[in-house]
Amino acid sequence: MSDIKLIDITKRYPDGFEAVKHFNLEIADGEFVILVGPSGCGKSTALRMIAGLEDITDGELRIGEEVVNERAPKDRDIAMVFQNYALYPHMTVRENMGFALKLAKVPQEEIDRKVTEAAKVLDLEQHLDRKPANLSGGQRQRVAMGRAIVRDPSAFLMDEPLSNLDAKLRVQMRAEVSRLQHRLGTTTVYVTHDQTEAMTLGDRVAVMRAGVLQQVDVPNELYNNPVNIFVAGFIGSPSMNFFPATVEGDRLKLPFAEVPLSPELRQAAGSADGALIAGVRPEQFYDPAVETGASGTEFEVPVELVESLGAEVYVHFAIGSGGPQSEELAELAKDSGAADVPSAGEGVAVARLEPGTRAKAGQRARLGIHPESIHIFDARSGRNLAMAKTPAATGSDGGAGDAEPVGDQPSSTRLS
């Protein structure tokens, strides 16, 4: 067990493409860190550099205070779980799990003991003599995990280990991975494109985009205080709504409503030199008819679609003008598929309301917005202008757990 330090790591391919740019990250001993981002953001490359499967072009990688840039994977004392498991098809589960120990010339009794132990933890005991081809997806996944844990390495590296499982199994295995990591207390770096996995699993989450680390923080901070429009849009499901906004006096003008602006926000907004984009989480809207006590700004909008999930209702409503014209947002839309960012251009926003709401598709509905929780971004740089502000007044609504729709339905920011 040991800590991992990535110091100014850069990966440049021979054709000049930089997959990872000046990446700095310190992972404490025993910490569970998630690398998350859309496909092609460099997260897997970063992980593979830690593993030693990719050369590091620039920078320094330390595992437990030792620089390991030049070491072969086998000398780094790490174990890796691959996205497609990479089980050895010609070996039984037992041989698969014991392969590393056998190569390390560990005595056979000890191999047997460790494999049996790991199999017990992973509930694989009755499958030890089967070949991977005869196992289900979840079992194969567990064998891959088992192969990693028998070695008792100083760090686990996991490259989208759950992405090949079906939705239900994924939720189960997610809990299992989390439990296992807590139990073993081994430093873990976990790569995923699924923000739900990132939010629920990690001690800390590192969001990457186009090779650049955007923000590293605990899930809650990431959710409540995103540093820029990309993190704001990527984290949370359904994702944050973005609107073009202008400041008029002490009020913020949105396409569908005018909301009062707190002094700090106003000051922050004043520092921008161009257009503004307001970001509103779906749960920051409310239905005044249901939440009678709520204090906020109310407005009326045409409802386009109502999705009821039982415990909550997603209301898609049209906003006056088209979406914001931010380069950042356009790129975000490109990264994640335009349809995935609801308000990126087509003038539709999503509100998450309590189940009692009477909003109906095709009718106008009266909604409220909590103005304290609005994020304001500089349209040009995408920077969050109010990073210093206090956590959202809606408080508990902003929790990471709430960000996740019931039943792990496809989250809008999940990428293929």
Partner 1 sequence: MSQSRGSRIAGWGTANSLVILFALFPVFWIAMLSLKSPSTISDGRLIPSSWSTENYKQIFKQAIFTDALRNSLGIALIATLIAVVLAAMAAYAIARLDFPGKTLILSMALAIAMFPPISIVGPLYNMWRNLGLFDTWPGLIIPYMTFTLPLAIYVLSAFFREIPWELEQAAQIDGATPWQAFTKVIAPLAAPGVFTTAILVFIFAWNDFVFAVSLTSTSAAQTVPAAISQFPGASQFQQPTGSIAAAAVVVTVPIIIMVLFFQRRIVAGLTAGAVKG
User: Which residues in this chain contact partner 1 in the complex, by CB under 8 A?
Assistant: 51-53, 72-74, 78-80, 82-90, 99-100, 103-104, 131-135, 137, 140, 147, 151, 164
Closer residue to partner 1, CB minimum distance, 77 or 197: 77
Closer residue to partner 1, CB minimum distance, 78 or 171: 78
Query: Shortest Cβ distance from residue 99 to partner 1 (Å)?
Result: 5
DSSP for 15-45, written as a single string: TS-EEEEEEEEEE-TT-EEEEE-STTSSHHH
Task: Assess contact for 393 and 155: CB atoms under 8 A.
Answer: no
Host H or E run for residue 304: strand 297-308
Strands 78-81 and 241-248, by their bridges, are unpaired
Closer residue to partner 1, CB minimum distance, 177 or 353: 177
Query: Shortest Cβ distance from residue 404 to partner 1 (Å)?
Result: 24
Cα–Cα distance, 71 to 60 (Å, whole number): 12
Closer residue to partner 1, CB minimum distance, 85 or 190: 85
Cα–Cα distance, 159 to 191 (Å, whole number): 5
Closer residue to partner 1, CB minimum distance, 151 or 253: 151
Closer residue to partner 1, CB minimum distance, 65 or 166: 166
Cα–Cα distance, 411 to 101 (Å, whole number): 40
Q: Among residues 231, 277, 235, 275, which one has the least CA distance to residue 254?
A: 277
DSSP for 379-409, written as a single string: TTT-BBTTTTSPSPTTGGGG-TGGGSPGGGP
Query: Shortest Cβ distance from residue 52 to partner 1 (Å)?
Result: 8
Closer residue to partner 1, CB minimum distance, 159 or 378: 159
Query: Shortest Cβ distance from residue 188 to partner 1 (Å)?
Result: 15
Query: Shortest Cβ distance from residue 162 to partner 1 (Å)?
Result: 11
CB atoms within 10 A of CB 383: 17
DSSP class of residue 411? P
Query: Shortest Cβ distance from residue 376 to partner 1 (Å)?
Result: 43
Cα–Cα distance, 130 to 208 (Å, whole number): 39
**Cβ contacts of residue 119 below 8 Å, gap of 6+?**
93, 94, 97, 125, 127, 128, 146
Closer residue to partner 1, CB minimum distance, 84 or 308: 84
CA 124-129-130 angle, 5° bins: 85
CB atoms within 10 A of CB 203: 16
Mapped onto helix, strand or coil, the DSSP state of residue 410 is: coil
Query: Shortest Cβ distance from residue 25 to partner 1 (Å)?
Result: 20
**Biggest CA-to-CA distance, the chain:** 77
Cα–Cα distance, 264 to 155 (Å, whole number): 43
Query: Shortest Cβ distance from residue 60 to partner 1 (Å)?
Result: 21
Query: Shortest Cβ distance from residue 75 to partner 1 (Å)?
Result: 9
Closer residue to partner 1, CB minimum distance, 114 or 281: 114
DSSP class of residue 371? G
DSSP class of residue 139? H
**Cβ contacts of residue 411 below 8 Å, gap of 6+?**
194, 195, 196, 237, 238, 404, 405
Query: Shortest Cβ distance from residue 90 to partner 1 (Å)?
Result: 5
Query: Shortest Cβ distance from residue 141 to partner 1 (Å)?
Result: 9
End-to-end CA distance of the chain: 33
Cα–Cα distance, 128 to 46 (Å, whole number): 33
Closer residue to partner 1, CB minimum distance, 126 or 292: 126
Closer residue to partner 1, CB minimum distance, 85 or 242: 85
